[in-house]
């Protein structure tokens, strides 16, 4: 056999063959073409000289296998090449599955995508208790293609298998054991013994074969497929995310035949992989990795965080930091302001941790602090009080005298330039913006805002802090609204202009969600709070010359602030907007462009003004901060796909019809074509 580069291979004295994947020059294991080619050669040797058993594990502490090599996806641009690559990978794992030798996957850490497909090709699976397993390929616009769909739907009931694959859900090891995906779960100290035991005695307590055969049978598949499609349709549209629908259709047609499923996987994944949705979602994957790279730690540990302001944002920031293992003190004027934040934190911890001990540990790390004693000990101090420049100045004037010299001073302001806040500080270079997005636990973006006086080291530490709490940082300059709010506000404001022009709210929101936005602008404004929208619109309007609609002012004056008061543009009941039937009148022909093109135009503006350094960073910010249609690859990427000249021309048409708010920004010159 040729010298191995990515695998460690040994035949033990008891004639058990041990393999350990250890991809060269990589921190995590991925199934690249060279890795699979090497495995194929090893399996060919095993076929010629079969051992008594085969164990496949990982030599990396980071985990088993994180999946296929996503970099290779970018090179598969035609159907024939994609089919050939997928078939080669599937063929290697099929060779593993056909071995007339008991095989066990020894799993620890992450076992995802192609990693779980390899494990499923083994006869048995043993997992360390802290493992995470899943087939999340739909998040890249495809579905399993190395045999995972075929094998999982025959190992466990197909309803359970699809319940994992269709949303791309990851599960912990014990859930995987309960589902029947793994045979044994144990702690690290018992892992090797458990592998040896399964290798000798086989699996125990697997799912009933008759039930799996029944659910895969030809008469039952169409019925279940209809149910599955209905559930998927409640979350995603087939024209936006075709992969879940393709997987359901594949199983419906071929679920009774493993060979037909395997062949169907190759054709289906090749077709999806070369489509626009998958290409854009792969782009989004790399944008995420880019932001993670920006968050690399600069070597200074963060352990104590002090948050001032226990409202929704401040309280949720504090809870999130505590969830990530930091010691957090939360300050506000009185106990009644802090209590709701502590209650929400407990709910968050219970959602994230099944273990009650971990919930208690998280709560122990979050301490109410009326007097602000935590300021003196904190490594990071985050201000999250009302959006009032004077109030923030007064606060930081006091904080600066109490904080230790090394502490990072940060404001969560959403619209006020840092220069105004920093003007009262003796050391304005210490202040940066760390702007979270609501809801904090769901939206991963943080805008790290650099003011005119901000020290580069402080900005770097803020980026590293974002990484420490598992958030994605985008560096931006201090201007009104920064990047995301500045780009999002024209979208919300134009929706109100449309209302004032006679369009109804349901039609407006429907146009936005049909484009791919996670929520329509009218419902979003109600959710954020119309008072907050009015305040931000006022700040941006004063500084950028934007018009604030009268309808928005009137609702706020009447105390109709949206979800939090039970009425805004919509009436709200039990936390949900009550939406009537869409009006029967004609939908404006330019409705979608009037909503979406202002976002694109503003992103071009912030790029042209160097608020953000690159178009890719602007795209990443809008995707991870607002949920801007990920399958479109980001607003500026969408503009390039549509044609920058065409977008500018369309904006000019809208300017002629509706006014200067649609005027194409000079920043389009930096977007490219």
Contact 410, 454 (CB under 8 A): no
Residue 3 has pLDDT above 90, yes or no: no
State residue 1's pLDDT score.
Answer: 56
CATH among 1.10.1040.50, 3.80.30.20, 3.30.70.1350, 3.40.605.10 for 485-670: 1.10.1040.50
pTM of the entire structure? 0.92
650-653 long-range contacts, Cβ below 8 Å, gap at least 24? 650/593, 650/597, 651/597, 651/601
Cα–Cα distances in angstroms (integers) from residue 399 to residues 370, 371, 436, 449, 478, in the given order: 14, 12, 21, 19, 21
> Which residues partner with 515 through β-bridges?
none
% pLDDT > 70, the chain? 98
Residue 542 has pLDDT above 90, yes or no: no
- 180 sits in the region (left: phi over 0; alpha: psi -120 to 50; else beta) called left
What does the DSSP assignment read for 390-446?
HHHHHHHHHHHHHS-TTPEEEE--SSS-HHHHHTT-S-GGGEEEEE--SSTTT--EE
Segment holding 193, helix H or strand E: helix 188-201
> Which residues partner with 554 through β-bridges?
none
User: Residue 590: is it exposed, middle or buried by C-beta count within 10 angstroms (0-12/13-18/19+)?
Assistant: middle
Find the mean pLDDT for residues 340-349: 95
Structure tokens at 86: 């997928």
User: Residue 425: is it exposed, middle or buried by C-beta count within 10 angstroms (0-12/13-18/19+)?
Assistant: middle
% pLDDT > 90, the chain? 86
Domain boundaries, the chain: 7-274, 297-470, 485-670
State residue 155's pLDDT score.
Answer: 95
Which candidate, 416, 308, 395, 291, places its Cα nearest to that of 433?
416
State residue 538's pLDDT score.
Answer: 85
Find the mean pLDDT for residues 521-542: 88
Residue 555 has pLDDT above 60, yes or no: yes
Q: For the chain, give the mean pLDDT.
A: 93
| Superfamily of structural domain 7-274 | 2-enoyl-CoA Hydratase; Chain A, domain 1 (3.90.226.10)
Structure tokens at 282: 């792969």
Find the mean pLDDT for residues 128-157: 96
What fold is seen in the domain 297-470?
Rossmann fold (3.40.50)
State residue 673's pLDDT score.
Answer: 61
Find the mean pLDDT for residues 152-163: 96
State residue 554's pLDDT score.
Answer: 93
What does the DSSP assignment read for 129-168?
TT-EEE--GGGGT----SSHHHHHHHHS-HHHHHHHHTTT
Report pLDDT digits (tens) over 83-125.
999 999 999 999 999 999 999 999 999 999 999 999 999 999 9
d(CA 7, CA 157): 33
Residue 543 has pLDDT above 90, yes or no: no
CA 272 to chain CA centroid, Å, is 21
d(CA 297, CA 486): 29
Edge-to-edge strands, sheet with 110-112: 63-65, 110-112, 132-134, 170-172
Find the mean pLDDT for residues 141-163: 96
Rg (CA), the chain: 27
Per-residue H/E/C for 370-403: CCCHHHHHCCEEEECCCCCHHHHHHHHHHHHHHC
Sequence-distant (6+) residues with CB within 8 A of 625 are: 437, 443, 445, 447, 474, 484
Structure tokens at 342: 């502590």
Structure tokens at 595: 């909503």
Buried b (16+ CB within 10 A) or exposed e, 482-500: bbbbbbbbbbbbbbbbbbe
- pLDDT-derived band at 44, boundaries 50, 70, 90: very high
State residue 536's pLDDT score.
Answer: 84
> Tokens 């979003």 map to which residue?
524
- Backbone torsions φ then ψ of 55, nearest 5 degrees: -115, 130
Which candidate, 126, 99, 96, 123, places its Cα nearest to that of 111?
126
State residue 584's pLDDT score.
Answer: 64
Segment holding 367, helix H or strand E: strand 366-368
Report pLDDT digits (tens) over 246-279.
999 999 999 778 899 999 999 999 999 999 999 9
Strand 124-128 vs strand 53-58: parallel, antiparallel, or unpaired? unpaired
What does the DSSP assignment read for 200-220?
HH---SPPPHHHHHHHHSTTT
Find the mean pLDDT for residues 165-192: 96
Buried b (16+ CB within 10 A) or exposed e, 257-275: ebeebbbbbbbbbbbbbbb
Report pLDDT digits (tens) over 208-247.
788 899 999 999 999 999 999 999 999 999 999 999 999 9
Strand 445-450 vs strand 431-435: parallel, antiparallel, or unpaired? antiparallel
> Which residues partner with 473 through β-bridges?
446
Contact 307, 342 (CB under 8 A): no
> Tokens 């040797």 map to which residue?
45
Contact 483, 611 (CB under 8 A): yes
Contact 363, 344 (CB under 8 A): no
DSSP designation for 565: G
């Amino acid at each position: 056999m040729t010298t191995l580069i990515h695998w460690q291979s040994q035949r033990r004295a008891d004639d058990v063959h041990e393999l350990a994947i250890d991809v060269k020059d990589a921190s995590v294991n991925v199934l690249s073409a060279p890795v699979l080619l090497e495995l194929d050669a090893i399996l060919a040797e095993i076929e010629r000289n079969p051992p008594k058993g085969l164990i496949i594990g990982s030599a990396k502490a980071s985990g088993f296998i994180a999946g296929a090599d996503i970099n290779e996806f970018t090179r598969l641009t035609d159907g024939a090449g994609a089919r050939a690559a997928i078939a080669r990978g599937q063929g290697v794992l099929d060779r593993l599955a056909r071995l007339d030798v008991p095989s066990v996957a020894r799993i620890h850490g992450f076992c995802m995508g192609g990693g779980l497909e390899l494990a499923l090709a083994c006869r048995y699976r043993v997992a360390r208790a802290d493992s995470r397993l899943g087939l999340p390929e739909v998040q890249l616009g495809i579905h399993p293609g190395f045999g995972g769909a075929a094998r999982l739907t025959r190992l466990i009931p197909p309803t359970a298998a699809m319940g994992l694959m269709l949303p791309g859900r990851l599960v912990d090891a014990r859930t995987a054991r309960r589902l029947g995906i793994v045979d044994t779960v144990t702690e690290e100290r018992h892992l090797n013994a458990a592998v040896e035991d399964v290798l000798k005695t086989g699996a125990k307590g697997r799912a009933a074969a008759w039930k799996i055969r029944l659910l895969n049978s030809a008469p039952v598949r169409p019925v279940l497929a209809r149910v599955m499609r209905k559930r998927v349709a409640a979350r995603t549209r087939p024209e936006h995310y075709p992969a879940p629908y393709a997987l359901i259709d594949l199983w419906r047609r071929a679920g009774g035949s493993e060979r037909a499923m395997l062949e169907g996987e190759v054709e289906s994944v090749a077709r999806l992989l070369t489509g626009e949705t998958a290409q854009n979602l792969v782009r989004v994957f790399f944008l995420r990795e880019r932001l993670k790279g920006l968050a690399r730690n600069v070597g200074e540990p963060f352990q104590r965080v002090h948050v001032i302001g226990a409202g929704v944002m401040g309280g949720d920031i504090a809870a999130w930091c505590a969830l990530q293992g930091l010691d957090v003190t939360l300050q506000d004027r009185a106990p009644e302001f802090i209590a709701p934040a502590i209650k929400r934190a407990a709910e968050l911890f219970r959602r994230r941790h099944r273990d009650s001990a971990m919930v208690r540990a998280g709560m122990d790390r979050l301490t109410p602090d009326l007097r602000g004693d935590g300021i003196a000990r904190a490594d990071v101090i985050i201000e999250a009080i009302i959006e009032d420049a004077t109030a923030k100045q007064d606060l930081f004037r006091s904080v600066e005298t109490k904080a230790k010299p090394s502490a990072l001073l940060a404001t969560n302001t959403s619209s006020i330039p840092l220069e105004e806040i920093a003007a009262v500080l003796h050391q304005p270079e210490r202040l940066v913006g760390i702007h979270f997005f609501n809801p904090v636990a769901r939206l991963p973006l943080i805008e790290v805002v650099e003011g005119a006086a901000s020290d580069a080291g402080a900005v770097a530490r803020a980026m590293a802090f974002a990484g420490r709490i598992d958030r994605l940082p985008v560096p931006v300059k201090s201007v009104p609204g920064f990047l995301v709010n500045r780009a999002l506000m024209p979208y919300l404001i134009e929706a109100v202009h449309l209302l004032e022009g006679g369009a109804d709210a349901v039609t407006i929101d429907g146009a936005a969600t049909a484009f791919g936005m996670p929520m329509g602008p009218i419902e979003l404004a109600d959710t954020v709070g119309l008072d907050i929208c009015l305040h931000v619109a006022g700040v941006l309007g004063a500084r950028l010359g934007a018009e604030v609609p009268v309808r928005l002012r009137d609702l706020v004056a009447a105390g109709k602030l949206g979800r939090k008061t039970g009425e805004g543009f919509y009436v709200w009941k039990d936390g949900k907007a009550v939406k009537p039937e869409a009006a029967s009148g004609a939908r404006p022909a330019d409705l979608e462009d009037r909503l979406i093109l202002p976002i694109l135009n503003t992103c071009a503006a912030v790029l042209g003004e160097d608020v953000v350094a690159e178009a890719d960073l602007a795209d990443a910010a809008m995707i991870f901060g607002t949920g801007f249609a990920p399958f479109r690859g980001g607003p500026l990427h969408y503009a390039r796909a549509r044609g920058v000249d065409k977008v500018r021309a369309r904006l000019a048409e809208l300017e002629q019809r509706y006014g200067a708010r649609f005027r194409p920004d000079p920043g389009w010159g930096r977007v490219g074509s």
